[in-house]
Structure 1
C-alpha cells in the first residue's frame, strides 16, 4: 500500500518496440522494454523481454520481467496502454495479482473500444478473450482534459495522479514511459522515433 507518494518512488515503465506489417503476418517478436527509475530524476536500470506481435504473451512477459528482476524495491508498474505488439492485450488483474504491485496505465488519447473490438473480431479467432481483457480493465480517468488519461489498479486514482505528476519531468508522459519508448524504438530500428 502506498501511503505517501515520495519524489524518489521506484517505478518501472514499459513500452514496446516498433514493428512492420510483416511482423504481424509472421507473428514475429518485438521488444518489451522497461525502465526503472527513482521518480523522474534517476534511472536505476532496465529490463527487457521479447513479445509476440499480435500474440497473447505480454502479461506473462511483464510478470516475468518484474518478478525475476534484481529490482526488489519497485512500488509501481506503469504501462503505456494495455495493448502491446499490436493486439497483445495485458491482463491487468493478473499483472497486479502476480507481482503484488499497483499498475498505472497512462495514455494520451482516449481509446476507441468499439473500433478495437471490431478489429479483434475481424482478425482473431480468440477475439472474445482479448475483448474481455479490454472490458475488465479499470475505468479511464481524464487527468489532463483531452490530453492525458489514467487507469489505476491496486491504488486510488488520486494516488495514481500524484505518481504520474512526480514521475513526469517534461511534457505529459512520465519519464519511465518516455525513456522506455525511446529505448525500445532505438533497439528495433537503430534510432529512437519521435514521441
Structure 2
C-alpha cells in the first residue's frame, strides 16, 4: 500500500533509450515525493529480444533498497517489442507496478505478428498485459495506464503526485533523460556504471 501522505514516499522510475543498436540502455532512478533523486542504476535489454523483465528486475536487485514503494515504468513494451511482464515484476519485488504510456492505439498484436510471425511467446506475453486504461491527470492531459498490485485510482494518484507538468511523471521523465545522456553515441563505447 502506498502512503501518499508521506513526504518521503519513493518511486523507482524506469525508462530506456536506444539508437539503432543491439541493446538498449535502461535507467532506473529512485525519486522522493519532493522530487529529490537518491538512487540510480542501469541495465541493458536486447532490442527485439524478450529480456526486458529481467532487465527491470536487475535494476531492482542492484539497488537493493527497502524504501521504494512502487515501480513506475515508461511503457511495458520497450526496445522494439521487448515485453515487460508487470505481473512477474510485481510478484518478484512485492511492489505495485504502474506502466504509463501517452498515445492511444488499437494495440500491438498486428505489429508483433507482422515483425515476429512465429513468436507465440512474445504475442502471448503482450496479450497477457491486458488492455490499458485511459486516465486523465490533474494537469489535464490523458495517459494510458496498466497497473499491477495497485488500484487504478491509486495508480492515477501516484502519477498525479509525481507529474510536475504535462503528461510524463518525473521519475520516468528523468530516467529517460539519463538513459539518453548515458547511451554512448557509438555501440562499442562503454556505459558508465552507477557504482
| TM-score, structure 2 normalization | 0.85
- Partner Cα separation in structure 1 for residue 16 and residue 177 of structure 2: 10
**Equivalent residue for 1:193?**
none
2:113 to 121, 125, 132: 121
Kindly report which structure 2 residues correspond to 1:38-187, keeping only aligned pairs within 5 A, or say none.
Answer: 38-113=32-107, 116-124=108-116, 127-144=119-136, 147-187=142-182
Q: Contact between 2:41 and 2:62, CA under 8 Å: does it hold in 1?
A: no
Point out the structure with the larger helix share. Answer: 1
Structure 2 spans left out of the alignment, 5+ residues: 186-195
1:30 aligns with 2:24: yes
Q: Contact between 1:40 and 1:174, CA under 8 Å: does it hold in 2?
A: no
Residues 66 and 112 of structure 1: CA distance in aligned 2, closer, same or farther (over 3 Å): same
Residues 115-162 of structure 1, C-alpha deviations (whole Å, 9 max, x = no match): x22222222255321121222214422212873111111011111111
- 3-state SS of 1:180 partner: helix
Give the aligned CA root-mean-square deviation in angstroms: 1.9
Residues 95 and 11 of structure 1: CA distance in aligned 2, closer, same or farther (over 3 Å): same
Quote the offset at 1:4 in angstroms: 4.4
| TM-score, structure 1 normalization | 0.85
Residues 118 and 138 of structure 1: CA distance in aligned 2, closer, same or farther (over 3 Å): closer
Q: Contact between 2:109 and 2:127, CA under 8 Å: does it hold in 1?
A: no
Residues 34-54 of structure 1, C-alpha deviations (whole Å, 9 max, x = no match): 111002521111111011111
